[in-house]
């Protein structure tokens, strides 16, 4: 998959450093898709990139765009096959890591365990992905169109989709600041 992604970082008044060394790897314990370089999926207004900046960077943030070339992406947002693949891989975790409490297994922890399992000689290639794409739905602030007048269910025309790239390599190109205008 080739796409444009938007990466939000705290503004420490160092735009040259951001463009020279970014993106920066997220290794937080609550990284919901595991450790990696997080991008918001392309949308015209960079809605979620701005929302993250306001809520998580105390409204002091920079947004960078990048060309993402992801030939080995695990697409949990758009591929039924990839969702089935992850279900099967969760079974591998349960078989190989009996000590791991399945009730405490989060998506991020599962991804990190699969990366580790993939390094084992007998399991090389079991998790052969360069990135993961997924969406969640924590906000009511989206663009819904009700399916019917009798239901609260709606079509979300602006889903919150993130892409986590595991390694920079050749997958992330043309990383540049696109917000705020002062840095352009």
In sequence order, the β-bridge partners of residue 62 are 9
- The answer, yes or no, to whether residue 153 has pLDDT greater than 80, is no
* Per-residue pLDDT band at 102 (split at 50, 70, 90): low
pTM attached to this predicted model:
0.89
Rounded to 5 degrees, φ, ψ at 7 are: -115, 125
β-pairing verdict for 154-156 and 2-10: unpaired
């Amino acid at each position: 998959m080739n796409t444009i992604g938007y990466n939000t970082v705290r503004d420490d008044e160092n735009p040259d450093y951001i463009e020279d060394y970014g993106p920066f790897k997220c290794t937080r314990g609550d990284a919901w898709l595991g450790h990696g370089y997080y991008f918001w999926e392309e949308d015209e207004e960079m809605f979620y990139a701005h929302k993250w900046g306001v809520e998580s960077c105390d409204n002091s943030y920079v947004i960078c765009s990048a060309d993402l070339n992801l030939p080995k992406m695990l697409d949990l947002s758009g591929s039924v096959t990839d969702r089935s693949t992850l279900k099967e891989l969760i079974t591998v975790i349960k078989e190989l890591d009996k000590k791991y409490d399945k009730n405490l297994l989060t998506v991020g922890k599962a991804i990190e365990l699969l990366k580790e399992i993939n390094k084992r000689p007998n399991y090389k290639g079991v998790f052969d992905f360069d990135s993961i794409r997924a969406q969640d739905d924590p906000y009511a602030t989206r663009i819904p169109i009700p399916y019917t007048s009798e239901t609260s269910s709606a079509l979300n025309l602006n889903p919150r989709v993130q892409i986590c790239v595991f390694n920079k390599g050749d997958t992330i190109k043309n990383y540049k600041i696109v917000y705020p205008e002062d840095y352009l």
